[in-house]
Amino acid sequence: MKPAILAVSLVFAAAIGAGGYAVASNHGHMNHGGHAGHGDHAATDADVSPATRAFMDANDAMHADMMIEFTGDADVDFIRGMIPHHEGAVLMAEIVLEHGTDAEVAELAREIIAAQKEEIDWMRAWLAERGH
């Protein structure tokens, strides 16, 4: 699998995993509006590793930052939402570099960091050119 495709797959897998965590952390609560349950990890703090805690915190921050004020311009809203999404991918990659042990995963993480930072720079420039 090409690194770029693998990177996209990893980001989607992480997003799906984060969604699964959010569902599991709600323990059947009916109110799911506003990302109910995010940030409320007190019951599990003693049971998680430092890496898991870092991933949980990164996911919570990413989801909060993705809650942008929408402009009605699909292009602008997409770019504004994707910046924190990409920043979340960078943070998750940095976490695996700090806590992981697999050399292939580390290499993928470094590739993700480089690619996502380049795309973040492009998106910020694109927004700036349009006065956002």
By residue range, what is the domain housing residue 64? Answer: 50-129
Between residues 94 and 12, which one has the greater pLDDT?
A: 94
pLDDT for 10 equals 47
Task: Please count the structural domains in the chain.
Answer: 1
What is the tens place of the pLDDT at every residue in 71-130? 999 999 999 999 999 999 999 999 999 999 999 999 999 999 999 999 999 999 999 999
Residue with tokens 């960091």, as numbered in its chain? 113
Two structure tokens written together for 87: 């920043």
pLDDT for 51 equals 96
Q: Are 10 and 108 in contact (CB under 8 A)?
A: yes
Mean pLDDT calculated for residue range 4-29: 43
Rounded CA separation 132/124 (Å): 9
Q: Which backbone phi and psi does 100 adopt, to 5 degrees? A: -80, 170
Two structure tokens written together for 102: 């697999």
Between residues 2 and 87, which one has the greater pLDDT?
A: 87
pLDDT for 41 equals 52
Rounded CA separation 15/52 (Å): 14
- Helix residue spans in the chain (DSSP H): 3-26, 50-65, 74-99, 103-129
Judge whether 98 lies within some domain: yes
The CATH number for 120's domain is: 1.20.1260.10
Judge whether 106 lies within some domain: yes
User: What is the reported pTM?
Assistant: 0.67
What is the tens place of the pLDDT at every residue in 52-61? 999 999 999 9
Q: Which amino acid is at 8?
A: V
Judge whether 100 lies within some domain: yes
Supply the DSSP symbol for 30: S
Reported as type and span, the H/E element at residue 23 is helix 3-26
Q: Which amino acid is at 90?
A: V
Cβ-based burial of 18 (10 A; exposed 0-12, middle 13-18, buried ≥19): buried
